[in-house]
Amino acid sequence: MAEAKTATLTIDGKTYELPILSPTSGPDVIDIRKLYAQAGVFTYDPGFTSTAACDSTITFIDGEEGILTHRGYPIDQLANDSHYLEVCYLLLYGHLPGPRELEDFERIITRHTMLNEQIHFFFRGFRRDSHPMATMVGVVGAISAFYHDSADVNDPAQREVAAHRLIAKMPTIAAMAYKYSLGQPFVYPRNELSYAANFLHMCFSVPAEPYHVNPVLARAMDRIFTLHADHEQNASTSTVRLASSSGANPFACIAAGIACLWGPAHGGANQACLEMLREIGTVERIPEFIARAKDKNDPFRLMGFGHRVYKNFDPRAKVLKESADEVLEVLGIHENETLKVAKELERIALEDEYFIEKKLYPNVDFYSGIILEAMGFPTSMFTPIFAVARTVGWISQWKEQLADPQLKIGRPRQLYLGAEERDYVGIERR
């Protein structure tokens, strides 16, 4: 039995031995759970750049090697050989399903895709030009009012139903948000369609004529869902875990995740990236924007570039880059100026000393917007689509955390730099 490793910390001449925990893959961690009780000090890591907030068996990322696995399976193999609902099963249950398991799971999800008709009235309260993410945060948080039979987080059976309902209903809610913004009627899900085809159908069909889903677009949509399904302890997943640690119901926790994903530094980057590519407009203007990205006094950043973890390449961006070419080919879009700007921007950035030194590479958001725009989605729908895909990751991590018998409410401390204690001064003396 290998001797347990420890880290030695000396403070004011006193020495503390801290256990070191070793992972299946990735860096060791120093267990500081007893540090404050023993040494009376906190650790300080505002952006969690060196902090493991939990243990997990779901997803592993090696940022230096550009590795992303779900339950041990590499993302490029899943994106090329599997499909989204099978990846959902894998994330939720930890193994690839057998044929019968997959058939049962797909039938369960398919039969949870409709929403209570009352929920349609929630949408009526929004302006037509509301951002669909505002609608999704509102509607997902509100549907907890309809599903009391799957809100008890202490009941594993109810947790299971809540997971199925959320995975099944998110595409319906996102499509309804889109239709509402267009002033078009909501389109009901169709059980004979696949998950991705059903989403395209709910977004793009109208009652006035038949709509046939292009199988290549359905495949690309499914692949986009798979590539965005889960990503370890990113900001929105950490938000869901923190919300869940208080015992909040699953719909409230997922609404919190949607809210966090909305930010342009996170899931909102796909919308911001495409808007940036459009603002650049032509290949000739790229140097101007690269100079701005380097300018310390300019808050501008190249959206779709950089990542907290990936420091050589984002494996998802590589798959999406192939998909972008495939989708544009099928759609006969050969002269796509935005794609030309994107590819030239990527080429220049990958050769530029600043970006090489800062390790800034295209991330998952760089190419997804190009594909989604080619498929007919407005930029405002990019992040809702990311939220649909990431729901399975959020809910898998939510389930994993709730099954942990050592679960405690998340309650970070701080480095206080405010005023020392002082007496109140009445207004007459100020």
- Which residues form the interface with ligand SDX (CB under 6 A)? 47, 231, 234, 265-267, 269, 293, 301-309, 358, 360, 363-365
From residue 74, give the alpha-carbon distance in Å to each of 28, 59, 254, 341, 396. 22, 10, 26, 30, 18
| Cα–Cα dist 430/426, whole Å | 7
Catalytic residue among 31, 365, 404, 423: 365
- Smallest gap from residue 272 Cβ to ligand SDX (A): 7
365 is catalytic: yes
81 is catalytic: no
Q: Which is nearer to ligand SDX, 15 or 297 (CB)?
A: 297
Q: Which is nearer to ligand SDX, 19 or 264 (CB)?
A: 264
Q: Which is nearer to ligand SDX, 13 or 46 (CB)?
A: 46
Q: Is 341 exposed, middle or buried (0-12, 13-18, 19+ CB in 10 A)?
A: buried
- Smallest gap from residue 214 Cβ to ligand SDX (A): 27
Q: Which is nearer to ligand SDX, 180 or 289 (CB)?
A: 289
Q: Which is nearer to ligand SDX, 250 or 268 (CB)?
A: 268
- Smallest gap from residue 302 Cβ to ligand SDX (A): 4
Q: What is the DSSP letter of 229?
A: S
Degrees to nearest 5, angle at CA 301 with 299 and 302: 160
Task: Decide if 223 contacts 319 (C-beta within 8 A).
Answer: yes
Q: Which is nearer to ligand SDX, 301 or 318 (CB)?
A: 301
HEC secondary structure over 286-349: HHHHHHHHHCCCCCCCCCCECCCCCCCCCHHHHHHHHHHHHHHHHCCCCCCHHHHHHHHHHHHH
Under the phi-then-psi rule, with left for phi > 0, alpha for psi from -120 to 50, and beta for the rest, what region is 148? alpha
Q: How many helices (H) and strands (E) does the chain have?
A: 18, 6
Q: Which is nearer to ligand SDX, 174 or 360 (CB)?
A: 360
3-state secondary structure of 9: strand
Q: Which is nearer to ligand SDX, 234 or 391 (CB)?
A: 234
**Phi/psi at 62 (5° precision):** -115, 105
- Smallest gap from residue 397 Cβ to ligand SDX (A): 11
How far apart, in Å, do the first and last CA atoms of the chain sit?
A: 68
Catalytic residue among 307, 314, 325, 334: 307
Q: Which is nearer to ligand SDX, 67 or 216 (CB)?
A: 67
CB pairs under 8 A, 24+ apart, for 143-149? 143/115, 143/116, 143/119, 143/169, 143/251, 144/249, 144/250, 144/251, 144/252, 146/116, 146/118, 146/119, 147/251
Task: Decide if 357 contacts 307 (C-beta within 8 A).
Answer: no
CB pairs under 8 A, 24+ apart, for 4-10? 9/35, 9/39
Residue number closest to ligand SDX, CB atom: 306
- Smallest gap from residue 340 Cβ to ligand SDX (A): 20
| Cα–Cα dist 148/162, whole Å | 10
Helix (H) or strand (E) holding 280: helix 269-280
Within 13 Å and on the Cβ side, how many CA atoms surround 168? 22
| Cα–Cα dist 169/343, whole Å | 35
Active-site amino acid positions = 307, 365
